[in-house]
């Protein structure tokens, strides 16, 4: 069932028209990375301390289903943003490229369609499933000790599923880099968890691994990044306020993203090589 599920996800990303730019037909995303975490992995309980008590575990979400049920697995994926789109964003210094903005809006709509597709695939196979990002219990909390946060973090789920580790700018560095969109689905189908082959939760980031790099700091046009980390409030105000106000109408989208700190950096498309090699 694991192989069948992975193939379905791969085929959907490759063949679904929603993963295509309206002109030219080039894909928003290339071949996905897929990982699995046990729904009862202690990490999900730890996230209620790391992120906040409002962050719901897979079991808490499943208990809000009608009727409640016991989850077994969290299926996670990373959708790497295409090379052409990443290249278009490298030369930008203030606002994202049009291709990046279209990927943020229409590509994320495709990601939501993928979430629904995975849920339907599992339900049709006789299992129970839901996508936390689309769950009625999903909430955003604008003022928490860690800044703006949500009741489910796709990044933290992906870390639990072995897809990557965190970076100075709070994103996830996967074997295919930091420029991607993430998704997840919770199910009662039992699938063996993926290994987490990292020495710690930040080992793929050169800054945390050896105190070098910090390229993302210089890429941020509003100073939301520093050696101390990521100022979510400044970042969000720019990404959801100033940027769409400046280029949203011209690009024909309401959500633009930014992505400057995810392009023209050593971790854009790979785990960066430094003086110290991450484990493994």
pLDDT at 107: 97
pLDDT at 264: 98
pLDDT at 169: 96
Confidence of residue 95 (pLDDT cuts 50, 70, 90): very high
Q: What is the pLDDT of residues 51-67, one digit of tens each?
A: 999 999 999 999 999 99
pLDDT at 278: 58
Q: Which of 91, 67, 73 is nearest to 160 (CA)?
A: 73
Q: Where are the domains of the chain?
A: 2-262
Helix spans in 34-145 (H): 42-50, 58-63, 83-90, 98-102, 108-124
Which two three-digit tokens encode residue 275?
């003086």
Alpha carbon distance 96, 81 (integer Å): 14
Helix spans in the chain (H): 2-15, 42-50, 58-63, 83-90, 98-102, 108-124, 154-160, 206-210, 215-219, 232-237, 243, 249-251
Residues 6+ apart with CB under 8 A from 271: 164, 173, 174, 175, 177, 204, 278
Confidence of residue 276 (pLDDT cuts 50, 70, 90): low
As a whole number, the mean pLDDT across the chain is 95
Confidence of residue 245 (pLDDT cuts 50, 70, 90): very high
| 280 pLDDT more than 60 | no
| pTM of structure | 0.95
């Amino acid at each position: 069932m694991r192989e069948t599920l992975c193939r379905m996800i791969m085929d959907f990303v490759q063949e679904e028209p929603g993963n295509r730019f309206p002109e030219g037909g080039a894909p928003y995303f290339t071949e996905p990375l897929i990982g699995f975490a046990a729904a009862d992995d202690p990490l999900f309980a730890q996230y209620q301390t790391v992120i906040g008590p409002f962050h719901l575990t897979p079991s808490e979400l499943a208990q809000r289903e009608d009727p409640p049920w016991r989850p077994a697995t969290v299926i996670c994926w990373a959708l790497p943003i295409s090379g052409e789109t990443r290249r278009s964003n490298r030369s930008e210094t203030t606002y994202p490229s049009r291709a990046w903005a279209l990927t943020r809006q229409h590509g994320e709509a495709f990601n939501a369609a993928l979430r629904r597709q995975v849920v339907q695939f599992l339900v049709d196979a006789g299992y129970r499933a839901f996508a936390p990002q689309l769950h009625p219990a999903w909430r955003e909390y604008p003022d928490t000790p860690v800044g703006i946060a949500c009741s489910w973090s796709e990044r933290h789920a992906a870390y639990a599923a072995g897809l990557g580790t965190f970076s100075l700018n709070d994103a996830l560095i996967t074997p295919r880099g930091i420029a991607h969109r993430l998704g997840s689905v919770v199910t009662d189908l039992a699938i063996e968890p993926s290994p987490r082959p990292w020495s710690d939760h930040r080992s793929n980031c050169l800054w945390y691994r050896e105190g070098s790099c910090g390229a993302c700091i210089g890429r941020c046009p509003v100073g939301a990044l520093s050696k101390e980390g990521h100022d979510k409030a400044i970042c969000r105000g720019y990404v959801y306020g100033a940027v769409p106000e400046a280029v949203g109408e011209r690009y024909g989208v309401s959500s633009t993203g930014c992505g400057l700190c995810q392009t023209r950096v050593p971790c854009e498309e790979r785990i960066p090589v430094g003086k110290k090699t991450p484990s493994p």
